[in-house]
Structure 1
């Protein structure tokens, strides 16, 4: 089985790094955008200024004789701007930067052609070799020649490159400020989270976005607390059950051991050997019954009956139980009757038989000679069974643990006896393990004290309910309601 890997991430670190990267990214984008805007605005103004200078030069030259154009350019128009005088046939007459004799014909230059056609032109051309942009402004003179002014500019990439150092410095300064600010904001954001009291999640003053998480934590804690209580109760019950089983088995073992020791040491008269053997047999049978009941309860606790679910004719089961207990009832002078119509449930037949058997046997065992035990079946419309127990759901039934199961019909089983009844204050305890109404009489009749506990578990397993109707001195009726199929 491959190990589980957990990715551990700090929320504070995530907030801090996100704020830092986001802020620096915004600064970088804005710096680039502003630099580009500044460059384009500067270039547009410079181009307009160069065009204006070209028009001033043209106006000056038009006011002078044509023969004085070159001297005027040499004397009047100097500086960083390059001046070129081009004849109407494209020949270069004058250039302030290069010897005109070495220059080729300029008739095909875009600014020259546009100025010749439109009277003036302003064009920017990029030089891949120099990596610069050159702005040209040309104006056509009255004599047909063209005066052209040009000025080199850095390209946008070159301009951005020249701004790299100031931008880097600005980013470093901004990064330091953002680092301090983001750390401060992160601490403020994390402060209420770090102060969370998970022992009482709903009492925290925290961001509303965390309410669903805290509600879920509170629900989980309550559920775990309930489960811990149930586990503690189950552990106490298991401990008490183990103690009671040991106690119940100790007496028959002592009796068997004592009588067997007497017989082993030949301390029993031959006439009494059969009597002692009978006592040993009775105690062994009592232990066998106790072990069988303990195993049944253990199977119920472990849901070991979950895969045996099928349709059961409970009326036929009761008749079979009456037949099995016929000789025992005859020995006690008790009449056993099964009344009513056939009724079916979904569940485990072995467990259903154990349920009816224990009720009828109890009715026989705790009765008086000449009494009776009656098992009566009815089918009621509507109703709901008890909340489903923590056992497997039999086939044909539905519902989840702790959920009431709605049923259309219920099988009602009434097991009535004519015994002494159960005192009112003890009715809620008769289903406890090893509980006996009359401990001395229970020992005489051979009961294990687990029969009614098994009955209650079996009823819950079949998603039913069980009630006790009794009055002291006039008998007891156990009423079972189970979902019909």
Structure 2
């Protein structure tokens, strides 16, 4: 079995800062060196052109005084060429002018004939040299041209390799030292962050989002711990109550101090309390799965009205016992969701509407589709006892009951609406509550479009 070697490598932020700063320093050095050499090369080239122009003017003055003999007698390293207006070479101090080709198409000659002066440069890749030419028109028929060779940029760089290399080493050392100090300074500021109270730390502006995130995570963690603590306490209390009753009834039955009729009543009470325990444990399991989002079923296309119809059929007998009329209206509304969770949500809303309704009351269940944005809405409206205004914010909390005695009487666990809330959150749905005490309540769940 192959091991993941890369996963075991430890990354050092200090090293990353050092490396990146080091590379930036090296890049800046090379860019600056390239720009400097280019500008230096161009400067020297302009200087050479000016010198060639000066030499050409001096040669013209000598030619006008001494003629071709004067030009031939000049002892100069640069090349002097005398050209007529037709491009024919009249004299060249470095070559046999009789064998030279016509120069009329040469750039510097053509420019000198038109403007009086002309300049050009030509490269020789083989010799790694560049020839510079300056031509001046003496009169209508004659051009004096002076030229010389200039080394290319490559030769210049090669000649300056030692000082450039020395500067490069110095630049790398300086950038390396700066990078090390910068990395140390940044890592020290991060290491000094108090993870328990990150907002109280003085950090760089760029690190504030990081400390804010830590603070938010700390707050969320404390909230989860508080909720878990409350949940554990509530579960312990809710489990202890029926277990105590079961234990008391069983103890009396064990002693044989009750008659047969009383024993039958105790057996009924034990059954009811055990059923309450089963419902409570099932609700806790459902809520925990929604909390941890551990639902393994994939979302599918669901017809919300069909689920509401199925729930109505399931709760038909419970509604009949309280003489509650259940009315389902609306159109087919398709959503993307987990059928099991959606069914639990609709069931709990309808079950509560029956449990906390008055005798002979009514429940209106409606499913509708918003044509504008495609959202699907489920509403469950009852004519029950309603919810006091001061309790409406808490009805979705776990184990919260507006009237504990009534909830125990009707078999409520205090987890139904909490399951609805977490199921809606799992499906990115919104819940709205409208209730009037003594008149009834209306719960509305809006599901997003498919």
1:451 to 396, 405, 408: 408
Residue 58 of structure 1 and its aligned partner are, at CA, apart by 1.1
Whole-angstrom CA distance in 1 between matches of 2:419 and 2:248: 35
Whole-angstrom CA distance in 1 between matches of 2:113 and 2:210: 78
1:483 to 437, 441, 446: 441
State the partner residue of 2:133: 136
Whole-angstrom CA distance in 1 between matches of 2:384 and 2:351: 21
Q: Does the 8 Å CA contact 1:51/1:138 hold for their aligned counterparts?
A: yes
> What CA RMSD, in Å, does the superposition of the two structures yield over aligned residues?
4.8
After superposition, the C-alpha distances for 1:341-379 in whole angstroms (9 at most, x for unaligned) are: xxxx9965555555579xxxxxxxxxxxxxxxxxxx888
Q: Does the 8 Å CA contact 1:293/1:450 hold for their aligned counterparts?
A: no
1:54 to 53, 56, 59: 56
Unaligned runs of 5+ in 2: 291-306, 325-345, 359-382, 421-436, 444-450
State the partner residue of 1:284: 267
Residue 42 of structure 1 and its aligned partner are, at CA, apart by 1.2
Q: Does the 8 Å CA contact 2:133/2:147 hold for their aligned counterparts?
A: yes
Q: Does the 8 Å CA contact 1:385/1:481 hold for their aligned counterparts?
A: no
Unaligned runs of 5+ in 1: 263-274, 322-344, 358-376, 393-400, 403-427, 433-448, 464-478
2:78 is the counterpart of 1:78: no
**Which structure would you say has the larger Rg?**
1
Residue 15 of structure 1 and its aligned partner are, at CA, apart by 3.4
Distance 1:484 1:462, change over 3 A: farther
State the partner residue of 2:147: 150
Whole-angstrom CA distance in 2 between matches of 1:148 and 1:13: 61
TM-score by length of 1: 0.58
Matched residue SS, 2:202: coil
State the partner residue of 2:27: 25
State the partner residue of 2:179: 182
Which range moved further: 82-91 or 11-20?
Answer: 82-91
Whole-angstrom CA distance in 1 between matches of 2:189 and 2:267: 69
Q: Does the 8 Å CA contact 1:58/1:140 hold for their aligned counterparts?
A: no
2:210 is the counterpart of 1:253: no
Count how many residue pairs are aligned between Structure 1 and Structure 2. Answer: 355
Distance 1:43 1:283, change over 3 A: same
Residue 43 of structure 1 and its aligned partner are, at CA, apart by 0.7
Whole-angstrom CA distance in 2 between matches of 1:452 and 1:202: 49
Whole-angstrom CA distance in 2 between matches of 1:281 and 1:458: 31
Matches within 5 A, 1:67-466: 69-70=68-69, 72-75=70-73, 77-86=74-83, 92-106=89-103, 109-115=106-112, 120-141=117-138, 144-156=141-153, 158-160=155-157, 162-163=159-160, 166-259=163-256, 276-302=259-285, 320=323, 348=349, 350-351=351-352, 386-390=392-396, 431=404, 451=408, 454=411, 457=414
